Structure 1
């Protein structure tokens, strides 16, 4: 999670670059370190370096890191020709790289070539079944095609391997909630067990419990826990409490 200080630092650098004060490379490095996409800015600043042979050569080995960063940003921005050029440069430099192969599969996905992308991801997973990015891309493909059952299946398989991924548990919970499937409660239980001091998980657990008439005690317990943890936020607790009262009345 990005802290307020880190976000402020990134915003300051962004304003500096936009106003002609330099610092594009520093911005790109910080965005990469914080795992922040900001794809439009990354694409713009990255190309300003890659298209300048002097600036590009001054990066040394980091040149290839920038090609990868810009390729991903270009796909986010649907600048597929730019992404293709970046990936081609990487493929020429690293012809046997599985990491570059992953980018090629992502480009197929960005083009909407779902079957080809899925085949490429499956092949890559055979070589490295613990590649988190590829597992998540398979979920994204299923969701993009509207195949929610497949997205649920891939997320469950992913979480069998990477049980500590809070974002994945939350994503699965939100899908279950949208379908009003009771397993959403289990997802929030996992989140509460791993991060018991996060108030939003307790509130979400209470809200989910209210969807099912046979789980009112879960809602009450979650609300009590939330109140003790986060008593200053009376409004959110009161809102959920009123929901409980309406359901039980």
Structure 2
């Protein structure tokens, strides 16, 4: 995650470079450090440095890092010839490097040579089963071919080895949601919340999944996670506030005729309604009547 300070620094340098103010190398280093994708600019400014013998020689050992960075950017931009040229230089310098081997496999992938790329990735994993980049490339390759079941399979295999990779859990969860496999998505969000309990996004997504699954127990749990989202965001999450209202309405319908302890208490619902009305009055007063109508339709206004 890029901080506001880092984003500001990146934007400032990018604007400076785009307007001919220099700092090309510093910009490329920052892009690499922050792990952001600026492929078109990396390709443009990286090639400008590599094609200038004086600038290139001034980099020292960083020259090879730049060749790699530009090769990956070129593949992103489908500039296959530029990628080939960079990889050839690296092959000549590091003929036995597995890192260069990954680039060669990625080039096959970029060209759409899926079978050859898969063979190359399999060979790399035989030499190093813990190569995270290669595992992730297999997932990306499956998604690029529209093979969602394959992407799920590779992601699950990856997470068996790298269980602490929160980005992978989130990606898997989002795939499951897109396929309406909500129970599997719920498991992924549970893992994320266990790992990072103070991230409101995970609480909100988990609550959404539980609400979609339905049933009294899931709705009650969803309401708790909408409430935790509100708590973690200082009461500022409109979606979570609506979630409280929706859950309250649904629980009320399901709990009719049940024991009193199974019914839902109204306090949280009342607080959510008040917070929503206050938010709409401040930010979108012209839509306040729509909010009132929506809440009345839920029979909680």
Give the counterpart of 1:221 among 220, 224, 229: 224
Q: Does 1:231 align with 2:253?
A: no
SS at match of 2:22: coil
Give unpaired runs (5+ residues) of structure 2: 254-301
Match of 1:186 in 2: 187
> Counterparts of 1:189 and 1:234 in 2: how far apart (Å)?
20
Cα deviation digits, residues 29-83 of structure 1 (max 9, x gap)? 1111111121011111101100101111111111100000000000001101000
Match of 1:210 in 2: 211
How many aligned positions are there?
Answer: 249
Cα deviation digits, residues 199-229 of structure 1 (max 9, x gap)? 1111100101122124223212212322322
Q: Give the C-alpha shift of residue 146 in structure 1.
A: 1.2
- Residues 227, 244 of structure 2: 8 Å contact kept: no
Matches for 1:10-159 after TM superposition, within 5 Å: 10-159=10-159
Which ranges of 4 or more aligned residues in structure 1 deviate by more than 3 Å? 245-249
Q: Go from structure 1 to structure 2 and tell me whether the alpha carbon gap of 1:133 and 1:234 turns closer, same or farther (over 3 Å shift).
A: closer
Q: Does 1:199 align with 2:200?
A: yes
Q: Give the C-alpha shift of residue 244 in structure 1.
A: 2.1
> Counterparts of 2:237 and 2:90 in 1: how far apart (Å)?
54
Q: Give the C-alpha shift of residue 231 in structure 1.
A: 3.4
Q: Give the C-alpha shift of residue 246 in structure 1.
A: 5.1
> Counterparts of 1:130 and 1:138 in 2: how far apart (Å)?
13
- Residues 106, 117 of structure 2: 8 Å contact kept: yes
> Counterparts of 2:237 and 2:110 in 1: how far apart (Å)?
44
SS at match of 1:197: coil
Q: Give the C-alpha shift of residue 137 in structure 1.
A: 0.5
Q: Go from structure 1 to structure 2 and tell me whether the alpha carbon gap of 1:163 and 1:5 turns closer, same or farther (over 3 Å shift).
A: same
> Counterparts of 2:108 and 2:250 in 1: how far apart (Å)?
48
Q: Which TM-score applies when normalising by structure 2?
A: 0.80
CA RMSD of aligned residues (A): 1.2
Q: Give the C-alpha shift of residue 20 in structure 1.
A: 1.2
> Counterparts of 1:51 and 1:29 in 2: how far apart (Å)?
18
> Counterparts of 1:113 and 1:171 in 2: how far apart (Å)?
25
> Counterparts of 1:155 and 1:175 in 2: how far apart (Å)?
10
> Counterparts of 1:243 and 1:155 in 2: how far apart (Å)?
33
Cα deviation digits, residues 130-177 of structure 1 (max 9, x gap)? 111110110011111111111111001111111111110010000110
> Counterparts of 2:230 and 2:9 in 1: how far apart (Å)?
34
SS at match of 1:12: helix
Which of 1 and 2 has greater Rg? 2
SS at match of 1:60: coil
